[in-house]
Chains A and B, each alone.
Chain A
Amino acid sequence: MNNEKFSVFSGLWKDNPILCSLMVISPVIVCGDTLRNAEAIIYAFSAITLFSVTIASFLPKNLPYAVRIIINALVASLVYIPVKRAAQEFFPDIIPRIGIYFPLLAVNSIIILQTEAKFFKMKKPRMIASTVFYILGFDAVIAFISVVREIFGHGTLNEKVISTNAVISGLGQPFGGFIFLGLLCGLYRWLRHGKQLSGGDKNVSDN
């Protein structure tokens, strides 16, 4: 981590968990095809990540790395229980649709790995603020991807029909998710590094 350049807002754009680090991309690729799915994922991801990171930050720092990782995962799995029960009230029809990706949100790399690499090296108020911006960064990207994929992949928005002329049905499929996310990552890098990259990446060998 570059302490000088790292700010609490990094997760929102500069170090966006999806576009920059490709973290938690499975639910985005497979389930991020409708706004309703995205709402349930945003709710679960935000609640589980924020509470898990905050609770796990109270663990003693002198524990071995593997033990801390396991405890982080166990804490997230415990937080998952009430979050799932609440989700069944608010999104009863969405949870079965998301399927295995719902519990997988609890073992996401932000909770399991980023906590040790970044968050736990900060003071608590800064850590919580940084976690919130990482969560917002994830939420914004999945919401955007879901809206675009729903409109152009299904011809609906929030499950209401809005267009039937410009539907690319593949966009609603996992392969469409892979391709769309790949294009979005490229666009993000072009927006962020366009000028810097124009000199060429000397570390990458040509074939």
Chain B
Amino acid sequence: MFLITELIAFLCANLILTRALGTSTMFIAAGSRKNLIGTAAVITVFTTIGSAFAYIIDSILPQSLDDIRLLLYVAATGLIYVGLLFILKKFSGKNFVKYRRYVHISAFNCAVMGTIFTVSGTAENMGFFGYISAGLEAGAGFVAASLILTAAYRRLNSKRVPESFRGFPAMLVYLGIISMALYALK
């Protein structure tokens, strides 16, 4: 029972299903297992390290300079972006060209930037590790939502679905129904 309650709480806090953050990126990720693993891993790295940067920025930045918060978050995300590409180039060798697209897709999208802003707004009194765990949780939420979509991906793209609604439209409706279930559970 405890696990079920925790699972429901985890899903109810999901940023894709409740706030639609990173929906289009998830549609790309859910297309294949390989894409899902690659994109989810990179997004989790971005949200976790990005949240750590957000903690530092939030600690330093006075309220009067709130307007430049986005600029600083973007600069931090840019640093992570370059850092990840650098690490990937150093360690993936010939596979760099194959894997770098996951970094390009994940860098500046609503899943990452939205998580950083959400974490900044909710983990304010939780300290450094509160930010990091919230970032990690958001990454795990992306994986969970992608898995939910992957489970139905082939059916939503099958010929049984009317052609105009096949693919993205059906996936949006499907996510809406899952989101409605979570709304009811909340």
Contacts and interface: CB of A to CB of B under 8 A. Distances in A.
User: Are chains A and B native binding partners rather than an unrelated pairing?
Assistant: yes
Contact of A182 (B19, B22, B154, B169): B169
A194 B162 CA distance: 11
A174 B107 contact: no
B103 to A, nearest CB: 8
Given A107-B113, A182-B169, A205-B154, A77 B107 contact: no
Contact of A26 (B20, B160, B168, B177): B20
A90 to B, nearest CB: 16
Given A26-B110, A69-B104, A205-B154, A103 B20 contact: no
Given A175-B179, A186-B169, 20 more contacts: A22-B23, A25-B20, A26-B110, A66-B81, A66-B107, A74-B75, A77-B74, A80-B67, A104-B113, A104-B117, A112-B109, A173-B180, A174-B19, A174-B183, A175-B177, A179-B176, A182-B168, A187-B164, A193-B164, A197-B163
A12 interface: no
Interface string B108-121: 11100110011001
**How many B residues touch the partner, as a band?**
35 or more
A176 B19 CA distance: 12
A182 B170 contact: yes
B157 interface: yes
The secondary structure that dominates the A interface is helix
Contacts of B114: 26, 100, 104
26 contacts: A22-B168, A25-B24, A29-B20, A65-B104, A66-B81, A69-B107, A73-B78, A80-B71, A100-B118, A107-B74, A175-B176, A175-B183, A178-B172, A181-B172, A182-B170, A182-B172, A186-B162, A186-B169, A186-B170, A189-B164, A189-B165, A193-B163, A194-B164, A200-B159, A204-B167, A207-B155
B20 to A, nearest CB: 4
Contacts of A65: 104
